[in-house]
């Protein structure tokens, strides 16, 4: 197990390294030089004020989303319950956009954005809870209802954006999820939140492992299933909201990462939860590096400087492919 952790950690470090050198404007040799203490002011600024915080934010957001997805899937016993398909992410986006659009929060008061995203995420999850009703136990039904909830929340977001059209340009990047232009402020906001709720999630790892076995077994083992589930859901919503407030709605990371983590580390969440954080960080970081590299290549090929590929688009495509796989791999079940 520790060897797997070591391999994954190495992979994350490699991804982080690629991410540091992937951007435009500096060759790898210059990056190495700057890290060694050389380079002129511009290069130092690019590396330490732009690329490093971006890297850290990508790592932190990926870890948050990975843990949130795993907690959700375990608490609801539903392999399709990512934050995206349970209404949490669209709700968080709606909350943040509404708070920004109505002037209650802005980039100057980032904590308000996080709180608004959190409230919105809770509202989205509650809406799904009400809508799914008795069909909650059927994973595919819940997922389908989640898509419906997302549609309603998306409509509301659109209305808010139309009331405050000036925000559209900055918000669109955020609807798809991007790590572009993230600076130290975002990181300072993200890490205490992520650390606190991540620790809470890790404390819940034991109960969650029991919950995965089913309510009957959990009750027999002396666990108050309803309370543990409520706490776990709160944890997942808070983690998702933090990540959404930092980088926007990164598509399908919360759905993709838990499957990878479970495949690598097995079903014991005390091990898998940190593993999911590591996998999430590696995936988002790697996707960001790939997005930067490919947008660089595309810009060279198409000869247009303004082309940038947001990382959210890449993760959405990956996640869509994975969703297809999950749906196809279980032909005998009802979904």
Partner 1 sequence: MRFAGGWQLPVLVALLVAASACALSLGTPYVPLHRLPGALMDADSTLAGIVVTELRVPRLVLAVVAGACLGAAGLVLQEALRNPLAVPEMLGVSSGAALGVAAPLVLSVSLPAAVQPLLAIGGAGLGGGLTLLAAGLGRSPSAVLLTGAAVAAALQAALLVLMVMADQLDLQLIYRYLLGSLSARTWDDVTGLWPWLLVAVPALVLCAPVLSVLRLGDEDAEALGVRAQRARLAALAIAVVLIAPVTAVCGPVAWVGFLAPHLARWFNPAADAVRWLPWSAAWGAVVVAVADVPARLALAPVETPVGAWTALVGVPAGVALLRSGSRRPAARRRAAGTVAAGSVPQGAQAVPAGPSEKEEPSTGARECVRRAAPGSDGPSGVSASRGEATGAEEVR
323 contacts partner 1 (rule: CB under 8 A): yes
Smallest distance from the beta carbon of 292 to partner 1, in angstroms? Answer: 14
Contact criterion met (CB below 8 Å) for 34 and 44: yes
Contact criterion met (CB below 8 Å) for 253 and 66: yes
Cα–Cα distance for residue pair 288/282, rounded to 1 Å: 10
Nearer to partner 1, 111 or 321 (CB): 321
Q: Which range binds partner 1 by CB under 8 A, 25-33, 37-45, 156-164, 265-273?
A: 156-164
Q: Among 138, 167, 215, 268, which residue interacts with partner 1 (rule: CB under 8 A)?
A: 138
DSSP state of 104: S
317 contacts partner 1 (rule: CB under 8 A): yes
Smallest distance from the beta carbon of 249 to partner 1, in angstroms? Answer: 10
Who contacts 123 (Cβ-Cβ below 8 Å, separation ≥6)? 91, 94, 95
243 contacts partner 1 (rule: CB under 8 A): no
Q: Among 43, 77, 112, 154, which residue interacts with partner 1 (rule: CB under 8 A)?
A: 154
Contact criterion met (CB below 8 Å) for 84 and 249: yes
Contact criterion met (CB below 8 Å) for 241 and 86: no
Smallest distance from the beta carbon of 58 to partner 1, in angstroms? Answer: 17
* Closest listed residue to residue 245, CA positions, set 44, 106, 147: 106
Q: Among 30, 52, 176, 200, which residue interacts with partner 1 (rule: CB under 8 A)?
A: 176
254 contacts partner 1 (rule: CB under 8 A): no
Smallest distance from the beta carbon of 307 to partner 1, in angstroms? Answer: 6
Nearer to partner 1, 68 or 161 (CB): 161
Q: Long-range contacts: 129-138, Cβ < 8 Å, 24+?
A: 136/76, 138/334
Q: Would you give the binding string for partner 1 spanning residues 288-307, x where CB under 8 A is met?
A: ------------------xx
Contact criterion met (CB below 8 Å) for 269 and 209: yes
* Closest listed residue to residue 153, CA positions, set 128, 124, 132: 124
Cα 260 to Cα 60, 83, 265, 272, 277: the distances in Å are 18, 16, 9, 10, 11
Nearer to partner 1, 20 or 132 (CB): 132
Smallest distance from the beta carbon of 147 to partner 1, in angstroms? Answer: 5
Q: What angle do CA 54, 60, 66 make, to 5 degrees?
A: 130
Cα–Cα distance for residue pair 286/291, rounded to 1 Å: 8
Residues 17-76 within binding reach of partner 1 (CB under 8 A): none
Nearer to partner 1, 147 or 195 (CB): 147
80 contacts partner 1 (rule: CB under 8 A): yes
> Which two structure tokens, joined as six digits, stand for 117?
């995203």
Nearer to partner 1, 83 or 198 (CB): 83
Q: Which range binds partner 1 by CB under 8 A, 5-13, 63-71, 151-159, 197-205?
A: 151-159
Smallest distance from the beta carbon of 329 to partner 1, in angstroms? Answer: 11
Nearer to partner 1, 35 or 317 (CB): 317
Contact criterion met (CB below 8 Å) for 242 and 306: no
Contact criterion met (CB below 8 Å) for 139 and 81: yes
> Which two structure tokens, joined as six digits, stand for 281?
């960080």
Smallest distance from the beta carbon of 330 to partner 1, in angstroms? Answer: 9
Q: Catalog residues that contact partner 1 under the rule CB under 8 A.
A: 80, 85, 127, 130-131, 133-135, 138, 140-141, 143-145, 147-148, 151-152, 154-156, 158-159, 161-163, 165, 168-169, 172-173, 175-176, 178, 251-252, 306-310, 312-314, 316-317, 319-321, 323-324, 327-328, 331, 334-335
């Amino acid at each position: 197990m520790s060897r797997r952790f070591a391999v994954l950690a190495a992979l994350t470090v490699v991804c982080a390294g690629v991410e540091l050198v992937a951007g435009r404007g500096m060759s790898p040799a210059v990056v190495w030089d700057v890290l060694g203490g050389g380079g002129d002011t511009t290069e130092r600024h690019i590396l330490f004020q732009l690329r490093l915080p971006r890297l850290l934010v990508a790592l932190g957001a990926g870890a948050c989303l990975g843990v949130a997805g795993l907690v959700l899937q375990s608490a609801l016993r539903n392999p399709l319950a990512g934050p995206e398909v349970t209404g949490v992410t669209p709700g968080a986006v709606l909350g943040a956009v509404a708070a920004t659009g109505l002037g209650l929060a802005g980039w100057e008061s980032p904590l308000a954005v996080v709180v608004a995203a959190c409230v919105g995420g809770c509202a989205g999850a509650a809406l799904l809870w009400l809508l799914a009703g008795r069909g909650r136990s059927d994973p595919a039904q819940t997922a389908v209802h989640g898509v419906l909830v997302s549609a309603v929340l998306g409509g509301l977001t659109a209305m808010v954006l139309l009331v405050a059209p000036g925000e559209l340009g900055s918000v669109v990047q955020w609807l798809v999820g991007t790590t572009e232009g993230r600076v130290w402020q975002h990181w300072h906001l993200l890490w205490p939140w992520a650390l606190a709720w991540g620790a809470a999630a890790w404390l819940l790892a034991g109960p969650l492992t029991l919950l995965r076995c089913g309510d009957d077994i959990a009750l027999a083992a002396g666990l108050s299933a309803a309370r543990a589930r409520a706490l776990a859901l709160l944890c997942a919503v808070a983690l998702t909201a933090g990540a959404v407030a930092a980088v926007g709605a990164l598509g399908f990371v919360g759905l993709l990462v838990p499957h990878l983590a479970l495949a690598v580390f097995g079903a014991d969440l005390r091990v898998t939860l940190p593993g999911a954080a590591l996998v999430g960080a590696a995936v988002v970081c790697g996707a960001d590096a790939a997005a930067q590299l490919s947008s660089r290549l595309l810009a060279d090929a198409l000869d247009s400087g303004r082309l940038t590929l947001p990382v959210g688009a890449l993760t959405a495509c990956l996640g869509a492919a994975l969703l297809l796989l999950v749906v196809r791999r279980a032909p005998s079940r009802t979904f």
